[in-house]
Structure formats: structure tokens, C-alpha cells
Copies of this chain bind each other. A is one copy, B any other.
């Protein structure tokens, strides 16, 4: 690719949720006068109908898609997930080598992002990681920290995460708490929720969003074997509640297949309970936020329950170990895989109603902060381990070194 004198930023997007939360950032990166943005698409974002709208959306936004790589291996099990990661890395290596970016932006903790980070590291690229330092359950916990140890610039979303990234030996001049992009988006969205729009997504019974409804988002936990049973537990709990429900389909990860089967089975065999449920595969990020603002309670194990909901004050019942140990505001009640406990917790949260907004994951201008640093920081590739003892010497440094 012919080079201008702009710094070239490559942003691989492999998942619709990542695209949703990154919209503000992508627009800022694209608009910055000294940056050149290259989007690469791969993974599940290329696979569904809604994602085709994403691609249109992206191109309508004037962004360049440098590569579209189909690399999801079917199977819905660990082997398929591992091989998807490997194939993703293989193909992104070619893509990254062709683009030859100055910085590769790795977002979050999905399994394929580590694979891309590995490829980028081996190509000797500077890696910027968004959302490192958090703790959680699932394989995400391993993935997130492994990416941190491959990355050179860190944009974390909260103080605890910053402390952990520093403890892991990262250069303190390159670790920034810029708050959460999801929360920034949640804070800015003012989409009005309408029955017409909500019932335009997914299948199942119509939901009347002017009346109380709950939302469920329960993803498989790749390090657990009983994903199907765990989902059924939630299904039974929710069915027993007798409340209108918007149920978001799980992510396409290991364990998805059997979870999707459970939902289908449930729909066929519990028609009455299913009659109060709408099942949605995707909705645009702003619509999702609008639902989150309106719902009586979010149930499941989505990070949206921890982050966006904290700022929006939405009551949350967090089920099982996926978000284990993550920094939480008071709006979350944690329960195990126990239908009775889930039902009781949801009841309590519905009765409690909305919480005060928390600033735990919020900083103003997150996307602008990240963009400015990607444009201005001096880049490096050879990492070294910064030990706590050495850190005191650097305590005066508040921003990283900037390029001339």
C-alpha cells in the first residue's frame, strides 16, 4: 500500500458488539488529520444478515475496509473455536502485512483478538489494547491479560484495571484510564424506544416496551461444560417470572450450538412461557442501549450489565462465573446457576427499580482521548518489564512521550 506521512491505524473488527461500542472511536480515528484508518473485518461480524448492514454502514461512513476474511469454523465447540482463532491469525497476518500499519488496535478480550494480537506482535507492530486489566471469569480472563502482555499502549476503563496492568509490568507512560467506550456510547445515546422498532428485530412474541419488561443476555462460558444446563436454568427462572422478556441470542462461541438448541427446544415445548418472549439475534448498539435504559432488569452474564448498566442505573442480576471478580457498582446482584435464586433476585431488582448512575466506568470523551493518544504518542515495539520498584521513579509521568 502506498504510504502517506500519516500514521496508519489498523482496526480489526470481528464481532458486531465490538463494532457497536467502537462507533464513536472509529469516527474519531477516521476524522483525525494525522491518522489514516484501515478497518479489517473477520470472524462472526461477516456472518449474519445484520452484519451485512454493518458492512454497508461502514462503507456509507466513508471508511475503508481493507479486508473481509471469512474464518469462522463451524462446530460451536472448543476445537472449532481454537481453529477459528488460528485461521483468523493466519489470514490477518496476510492482511496486516499488506496494510503495514503503524498501530494495530485490539479491542477487548474475545478469543480471536488474542490471535490477531499475536500475529501483529510477530509482525513487529505496535499494539494498542482497549479494555485491558479487568478481571472476569471464562477464557476471556486469560485472553485479556495475554493481550496486555503483547500490547504496547493500554486504554483501560477503570482504576482497578489500571492498577493491574501496571502490576503486570507494563510501561506506566503508556497505560491510560480513558473510561469505557460502551459507557461513553450509553451516555450519548438518546434513541427513543418504540414497539415498532423493537418488534422489528428477531422472532417470537411482540413486546410492549411501554410496559415493564426484562432483558436476558447469557453467553456460553467457554471454561464451563454445563452451558446448556445453565441456560435452561435461566430459561426456567425467567419463564416462572411471567414477565415480558427480550432475550438476546448468545455469541457464536464454543458452547453456542447447544445453547441455541436449548432455546429452540424451549420455544417448541413451552409455548405459553415462550409467548411472553422475543428472541433477538442483533440490534444496533443504540437500540440496545435504549432497551437497557428502559428495562426493569437485565439478567444473564453480559458485560453490559456491569458497565453500561452501571452508568444507566439499570438493575442487573448477574448469573454465574463469567463476570467473576469484575469491578461492580451496587446495581448488580450476583447469583449462581439456580433457578430459584435467579427468580428471587430478579423479583428484588424489579421491586428496587433504577439505581443512581455510577461513574466507575465513565470518563468524558473516551474516544477522543484514545484518538489523541494514538495520534500523538511516540511508538515503540521492544517491550520491557517495569517492576513495581522501578515505578516510583516514574511517578511524575502522567502522559506518555509524544512524537515530534
Contact = CB atoms under 8 A, between A and B. Distances in A.
A142 B385 CA distance: 9
A168 interface: yes
A382 B89 contact: no
B74 A118 contact: no
A188 interface: no
Contacts of A261: 49
Interface residues of A, number: 70
Interface string A251-281: 0001000000100000000000000000000
B79 A97 contact: yes
Contacts of A3: none
Given A383-B142, A385-B164, A93 B89 contact: no
A70 interface: yes
Interface in A37-94: 46-47, 49, 67, 69-75, 77-83, 85-87, 89-91, 93-94
Interface string A128-161: 0000000101110111011111100000000000
Given A70-B75, A74-B74, A89-B89, A168 B142 contact: no
Contact of A83 (B90, B164, B385, B388): B90
A75 to B, nearest CB: 4
Interface string A84-124: 01110111011001100000000000010011001101111
Contacts of A119: 82, 85-86
A74 B93 contact: no
B325 A384 contact: yes
A282 to B, nearest CB: 15
The 5 closest A-B pairs by CB, nearest first: A82-B122, A86-B90, A145-B149, A86-B89, A146-B149
